[in-house]
């Protein structure tokens, strides 16, 4: 059940921890998040197209791997760019492994894709843990996503646009400017900050299966 209250990044971690302790694993929450974000693509595109997923090394990237798997299983042509290299978290690694048996093009960090001719580009680089300035890899990822959007792709941000700080709405130079942001379970302060509106675009709040009781932590 979605939470209508604003929560900080630390509060969101506590909610997720409570959900995990209640039996909804972190891996299942990642699956649910990827499914929710993918459902927003399906609502907007009746015919399969070309999907570009740009991932970081954390769990935000894991959500992107789930989207990539669902997309290729739905007949889309899918390319994943590992903008920061291979994932570093267990759940993201698990979803990265699930792509190996599927016809998904996975590009290493030093081989960025052509930004032209994508139907949808997914920003799955940084999530609620981001603050400060973009690293060079993150800057390159955001630049490529902007080029894809300029070439006609719908730019979808997973939970929040990369380069924005969840608790303050502050945008680092070069931060992603998305057409659509799919926020998971709870809105964070960034989603309500007028300064961040031009970066978030349309905001959809998605249910990822966290029980209502877990929001009272």
* pLDDT per position as a tens digit, 170-207: 999 999 999 999 999 999 999 999 999 999 999 999 99
Longest Cα pair distance anywhere in the chain, in angstroms?
A: 45
- In this structure, is residue 114 part of a structural domain? yes
- In this structure, is residue 39 part of a structural domain? yes
Q: Which whole-number Å values give the CA distances from 92 to 61, 65, 155, 169, in the listed order?
A: 7, 7, 21, 25
C-alpha to C-alpha distance for 69 and 158, rounded to whole angstroms: 15
What pLDDT does residue 3 have? 85
| Domains identified in the chain, total number | 1
What pLDDT does residue 123 have? 98
pTM: 0.97
Give the tokens for residue 198: 């031009």
- In this structure, is residue 144 part of a structural domain? yes
Angle at 70 between CA 62 and CA 102, to 5 degrees: 85
- In this structure, is residue 3 part of a structural domain? no
What pLDDT does residue 2 have? 82
- In this structure, is residue 217 part of a structural domain? no
Residue 148 is classified by DSSP as: H
Find the helix or strand (DSSP H, E) in which 50 lies.
strand 50-55
100: domain CATH number is 3.40.50.10260
The residue range of the domain holding 104 is: 9-211
- In this structure, is residue 103 part of a structural domain? yes
- In this structure, is residue 1 part of a structural domain? no
What is the average per-residue pLDDT within 119-125? 98
* pLDDT per position as a tens digit, 52-93: 999 999 999 999 999 999 999 999 999 999 999 999 999 999
C-alpha to C-alpha distance for 181 and 167, rounded to whole angstroms: 16
What pLDDT does residue 46 have? 92
| Band of residue 12 on the pLDDT scale cut at 50, 70, 90 | very high
Q: What integer best gives the mean pLDDT of the chain?
A: 97
What pLDDT does residue 81 have? 98
- In this structure, is residue 203 part of a structural domain? yes
Strands 120-124 and 105-107: unpaired
| Band of residue 217 on the pLDDT scale cut at 50, 70, 90 | confident
Give the tokens for residue 48: 């399969």
């Amino acid at each position: 059940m979605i939470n209508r209250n604003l929560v900080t990044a630390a509060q969101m971690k506590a909610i997720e921890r409570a959900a995990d302790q209640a039996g909804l694993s972190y891996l299942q929450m990642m699956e649910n998040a990827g499914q929710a974000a993918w459902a927003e693509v399906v609502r907007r595109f009746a015919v399969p197209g070309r999907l570009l997923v740009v991932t970081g090394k954390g769990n935000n990237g894991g959500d992107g791997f789930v989207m990539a798997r669902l997309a290729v299983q739905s007949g889309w042509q899918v390319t994943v760019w590992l903008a920061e290299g291979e994932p570093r978290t267990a759940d993201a690694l698990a979803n990265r492994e699930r792509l190996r048996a599927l016809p998904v093009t996975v590009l290493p960090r030093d081989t960025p894709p052509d930004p032209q001719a994508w139907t949808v580009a997914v920003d799955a680089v940084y999530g609620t843990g981001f603050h400060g300035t973009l690293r060079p890899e993150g800057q390159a990822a955001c630049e490529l996503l902007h080029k894809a959007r300029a070439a006609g792709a719908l730019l979808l941000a997973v939970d929040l646009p990369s380069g924005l700080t969840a608790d303050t709405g502050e945008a680092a130079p070069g931060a992603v400017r998305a057409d659509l942001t799919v926020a998971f379970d709870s809105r964070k302060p960034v989603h309500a900050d007028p300064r961040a509106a031009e970066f978030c675009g349309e905001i959809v709040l998605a249910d990822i299966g966290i029980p209502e009781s877990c929001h009272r932590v």
